[in-house]
Amino acid sequence: MKEIRLATKILKTLVKDRIQYPDKLVVDTIGVIARCGILLILYGYVFKLNDGVINGTTFLFAVWSIFFYFSFSVLRLRDISGEIMRDIQTGNIEVLFSKPISYLSYRMWWQVGSGIYSFVIITIFATLALIFIMGLPSTMTMSIFIPTLILTFICGAILSLFLYSIVGLLSFWIEDINPVFWIVDKAVMILGGSYLPVALFPAFMFKIALWSPFGASQFVTHTVYETWQINWYQLVGIQLFWIVLLGLVVYFMFERAKQKVSVNGG
């Protein structure tokens, strides 16, 4: 109950803050246009050159898959690494440890809260624009699509938070986690289907994307393809496996990390 109250309070406060100061929404919108918008226009040209089909995939499927990746990235769950590092470097972690709340839970909800407003607004408008301009593939009109999309989205969000929290917690042992963060982040970017949709992956890369936590955190990009109808439970199962495993890693790392903190007072 206490956890739910904390989460609700954080989400409410941050959404109110984002509504009052819409700067982040502006940045996120420009970011989505710069990355996703331009990329889709380029893919339109590329698919046209290839008579509308590449690797058995049409432009419509590629568009939605790429869009789902960029829409998910607006949540900025990856920023949790930097936030944890900043807490440790500035000593803010001492203050947060002294509060009667779970530090990691607080940080995770904070991360969700800081991106949710931009995510909702951008996703709604971009989805409407895409439906109007491109239309919906048949796979997205099936009854199974929405429930499984929500399920894999939630699993992906939890997995991303765990993955990037592990990177952030490394700050207790190394002074600058940025190089580790870049490598993990780029692995997610490549295997998640950002600039290259998963349907265009070579076979070996697709397997890595399927079985690694980096690709699993972005399974939301798989939902638009026809194969999703058949193997969605397998992919969600992979996500759940990684959630349990990385959850345990986060737990044990955090327990060890707490022992390294020395509060100096002042």
Partner 1 sequence: MMKELYFALYAIKKNIQSSAELRTSFLMNIVGMSINNTAFIILWGFFVKSVGVIGGWTVADIIGLQGFVAVCFGIVFSAGAGIRKLADYTASGAFDRFMLSPKNLLVRIATSSFGVSALGDIVFGIVCLGIYAFFIHATLYQILLIVLLVFISTILFLAAAIAIYSTSFFFTDANSVTSGLFELFLTPSLFHGGAFQGVMRFIFTFAIPSLLIGALPVEIVRDVSLGKLLLVSILALCWFIVSINVFNRAIKKYESSNFMTFGN
The contacts of residue 248 (CB under 8 Å, 6+ apart) are none
Q: Is 189 among the residues that bind partner 1 (CB under 8 A)? A: yes
- x/- mask, partner 1, residues 207-236, rule CB under 8 A, reads ------------------------------
Q: Answer whether 187's CB lies under 8 Å from 210's CB.
A: no
Q: Is 176 in the site for partner 1 (CB under 8 A)?
A: yes
The correct pick among 116, 190, 240, 249 for binding partner 1 (CB under 8 A) is 190
Q: How far is the CB of 32 from partner 1 (least distance, A)?
A: 10
Strands in the chain per DSSP E: 53-54, 57-58
DSSP-derived secondary structure for 210-260: HHSHHHHTTGGGGTTSTHHHHHHHHHHHHHHHHHHHHHHHHHHHHHHHHHH
Confirm if 103 and 96 have CB atoms less than 8 A apart: yes
Q: Is the dihedral of CA 155, 242, 97, 74 positive or negative?
A: negative
The residue type of 111 is Q
Tell whether residue 23 is a contact of partner 1 (CB under 8 A): yes
> What is the amino acid identity at position 33?
I
Place of tokens 């963060």: 181
User: Minimum Å distance from CB 121 to partner 1?
Assistant: 15
Q: Cβ of residue 186: shortest distance to partner 1, in angstroms?
A: 4
Residue 53 in contact with partner 1, rule: CB under 8 A: no
Query: In whole angstroms, how close is the CB of 152 to partner 1 at the nearest point?
Result: 23
Site for partner 1 contains 26 (CB under 8 A): yes
Residues touching partner 1, count (CB under 8 A): 41
Residue 92 contacts partner 1 per CB under 8 A: no
The verdict on 82 binding partner 1 (CB under 8 A) reads no
Q: Supply the minimum distance, in Å, between the C-beta of residue 161 and partner 1.
A: 21
Q: Which of 38, 146, 248, 261 binds partner 1 (CB under 8 A)?
A: 38
**Which stretches does DSSP call E strand in 41-122?**
53-54, 57-58
**How many residues belong to the chain?**
266
Q: Does residue 85 bind partner 1 (CB under 8 A)? A: no
202 binds partner 1 (CB under 8 A): yes
Strand 57-58 with 53-54, pairing: antiparallel
- Please report, as ranges, the residues that interact with partner 1 according to CB under 8 A: 23-24, 26-27, 29-31, 33-35, 38-39, 41-43, 45-46, 49-50, 54-55, 174-176, 178-180, 182-183, 185-187, 189-190, 194-196, 200-202, 205
